[in-house]
């Protein structure tokens, strides 16, 4: 009997998701057709409703926090789960910021005449229905909803089960805001079941969902990418490199290498491996070692590195590691070719930087390094939607197709071809 019961539950969850999917598909047409003014009123109305429902949201969050503590969730997870007035203020501010961004939808580019007489161009259009699968932070519910709406998409949001009461309360505010702006409430739907099969169902319904954006740990994202039958915009990990060339300005190299590692540790655009041209290793490494020591950064070096500075011996796995911690792997390389070879072998394709004053090497690094952001003489920490002026960020893609690097509103859209004619036919 348990088997049957399980299969019944599965079916029920899949049916529930199909119902949400069908409603999202219908709502998507209305959101796509909404003009910028209507979408912005919806965003501001949702902000107003967060204000109105503030007490209810905080109460719901308190319930999630109590359950989380009872379940002895980790402190870091509880911190991400917790809402307070300032976090709700930040959600409201985020909605206002997205409302102020330019609307990407409908932009027509490259309109030109073809020899046949047709006028051909591209129009930016929403993708349709976006599925977001995320973990504990309830503010992602508002982030994701606002970016999907502004880019003309409907959204199905599947947050972590530990945040379910918070997400339901936020969903009420979103629904009220949509209604006030005359948009269907099913334009943004929060999956209200905590059944784990809901994720499996979501990633297997290409008829209802056009793209899945998973946000969370690498394990979650890998599982989703492996099983998904819907395209996935995924962010795996950020094993970022800085290469200090032998023609680098060594003061600049010092500043960038310190900043890229120590500005923040738990972020995907932090440097995890430092590559140093052997000709300058003896000059720069002792100074860097001093700087890192002041920040309490543990160094793990190749054999040559360990002969110059005090560092633990790096093992092979260190070159692939995303530490997200005050730890740095250091390798001395012969030249830029060995640096690029190392990056090509070990990088996760997120962000890499070269420090050099040599023109040809700067060009070579830019052309040959295949990562979503490639930098010359700047800290990897700049690889960020806000620093890039996207205004907001749904994630940082380490994929190659569709969107690479920080994904803002444009990454949630596509371009269709438009043809303006005056009766042309093919002959």
At its nearest, how many Å lie between its own copies and the CB of residue 377? 4
Cβ nearer to its own copies, comparing 81 with 211: 211
Q: Please enumerate in sequence order all residues whose Cβ is within 8 A of that of 361, keeping only pairs 6 or more positions apart, or say none.
A: 245, 247, 336, 354
> Distance (Å, rounded) from C-alpha 42 to C-alpha 308?
60
CB of 70 vs its own copies, minimal distance in Å: 39
Closest CA to 129 of 98, 102, 103, 158: 158
- What's the per-residue H, E or C state across 140-187? HHHHHHHHHHHCCCEEEEECCHHHHHHHHHHHHHHHHHHHHCCCCHHH
Instruction: Considering the complex, state which of residue 49 and residue 372 has its C-beta at the smaller distance from its own copies.
Output: 372
* Gap between the Cα atoms of 270 and 327, Å rounded: 11
Alpha-carbon gap, residue 24 to 30, rounded angstroms: 10
Distances (CA, A) of 235 to 45, 119, 239, 374: 31, 38, 12, 17
Q: Give the DSSP H or E segment for 227.
A: helix 218-227
- The DSSP symbol for 217 reads -
**In the complex, what is the shortest distance from the CB of residue 380 to its own copies, in angstroms, rounded to a whole number?**
9
Residue in the block written with tokens 């979103």: 174
Binding site for its own copies (CB under 8 A): 29, 32-33, 106, 114, 116, 118, 120, 123, 125, 127-128, 210-211, 225-226, 229, 231, 233, 249, 252, 255-256, 258-260, 263, 344, 353, 366-368, 370-379, 381-383, 387-389, 399-402, 404-406, 414-426
Task: Compute the least distance from the CB of residue 426 to its own copies, in Å.
Answer: 4
Within the chain, what is the greatest distance between any pair of CA atoms?
A: 76
- Rounded to a whole number of angstroms, the distance between the first and last alpha carbons of the chain is 67
Q: Which is nearer to its own copies, 61 or 373 (CB)?
A: 373
For its own copies, which is the closer residue by CB, 249 or 282? 249
Question: Residue 322: which residues within 8 A CB-CB, separation 6 or more?
Answer: 237, 238, 239, 268, 272, 348
Q: How far is the CB of 84 from its own copies (least distance, A)?
A: 26
Q: Which is nearer to its own copies, 241 or 404 (CB)?
A: 404
Instruction: Decide if 166 contacts 61 (C-beta within 8 A).
Output: yes
Short-list 350, 344, 340, 401, CA closest to 372:
350
Q: Which is nearer to its own copies, 219 or 389 (by Cβ)?
A: 389
Report CA-CA distances (Å) from 120 to 30, 196, 419, 420.
26, 46, 5, 7
Nearer to its own copies, 119 or 193 (CB): 119
CB of 151 to its own copies, least distance (A): 13
Q: Are 40 and 129 in contact (CB under 8 A)?
A: no
Residue 64 or 210 with smaller CB distance to its own copies: 210
For its own copies, the closer CB: 161 or 265? 265
- Residue 295 φ then ψ, to 5°: -95, 0
∠ CA 61-62-68, rounded to 5°? 90
CA distance 401 to 91: 30
Q: Supply the minimum distance, in Å, between the C-beta of residue 372 and its own copies.
A: 6
Name which of 69 and 114 has its Cβ closer to its own copies: 114
Shortest distance, position 115 Cβ to its own copies, whole Å: 8
- Taking only Cα atoms into account, the Rg of the chain, rounded to an integer number of angstroms, comes to 24
User: Is 35 or 89 the residue whose CB approaches its own copies more closely?
Assistant: 35
């Amino acid at each position: 009997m348990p088997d049957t019961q399980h299969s019944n539950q599965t079916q029920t969850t899949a049916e529930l998701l199909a119902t949400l999917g069908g409603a999202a598909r219908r709502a998507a047409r209305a959101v796509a057709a909404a003009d910028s003014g209507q979408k912005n009123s919806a965003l501001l109305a949702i902000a107003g409703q967060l204000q109105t429902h503030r007490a209810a949201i905080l109460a719901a969050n308190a319930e999630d926090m109590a359950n989380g503590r009872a379940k002895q969730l980790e402190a870091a997870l509880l911190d991400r789960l917790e809402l307070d007035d300032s976090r709700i203020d930040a959600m409201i501010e985020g909605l206002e910021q997205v409302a102020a961004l330019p609307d990407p939808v409908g932009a027509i580019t490259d309109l030109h005449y073809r020899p046949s007489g047709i006028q051909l161009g591209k129009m930016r259009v929403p993708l349709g229905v976006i599925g977001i699968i995320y973990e504990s932070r309830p503010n992602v519910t508002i982030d994701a909803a606002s970016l999907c709406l502004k880019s003309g998409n409907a959204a199905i949001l599947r947050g972590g089960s530990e945040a379910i009461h918070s997400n339901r309360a936020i969903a009420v505010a979103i629904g009220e805001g949509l209604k006030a702006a005359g948009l269907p409430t099913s334009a943004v739907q929060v999956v209200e079941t905590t059944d784990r099969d809901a994720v499996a169902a979501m990633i297997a319904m290409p008829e209802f969902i056009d793209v899945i954006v998973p946000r969370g740990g690498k394990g979650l994202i890998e599982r989703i990418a492996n099983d998904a039958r819907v395209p996935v915009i995924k962010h795996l990990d950020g094993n970022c490199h800085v290469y200090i060339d032998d023609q680098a300005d060594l003061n600049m190299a010092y500043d960038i290498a310190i900043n890229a590692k120590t500005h923040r540790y738990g972020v995907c655009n932090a440097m995890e491996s430092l590559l140093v041209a052997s000709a300058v290793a003896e000059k720069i490494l002792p100074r860097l070692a001093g700087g890192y020591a002041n920040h309490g950064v543990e160094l793990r070096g190749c054999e040559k590195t360990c002969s110059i500075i005090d560092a633990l011996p790096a093992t092979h796995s260190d070159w692939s590691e995303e530490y997200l911690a005050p730890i740095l792997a250091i390798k001395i390389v012969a030249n830029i070719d060995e640096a690029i070879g190392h990056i090509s072998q070990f990088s996760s394709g997120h962000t890499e930087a070269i420090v050099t004053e040599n023109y040809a090497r700067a060009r070579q690094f830019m052309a040959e390094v295949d990562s979503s952001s490639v930098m010359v003489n700047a800290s990897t920490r700049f690889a960020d939607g806000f620093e890039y002026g996207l205004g907001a960020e749904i994630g940082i893609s380490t994929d190659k197709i569709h969107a690479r690097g920080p994904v803002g509103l444009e990454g949630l859209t596509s371009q269709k071809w438009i043809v303006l004619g005056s009766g042309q036919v093919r002959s």
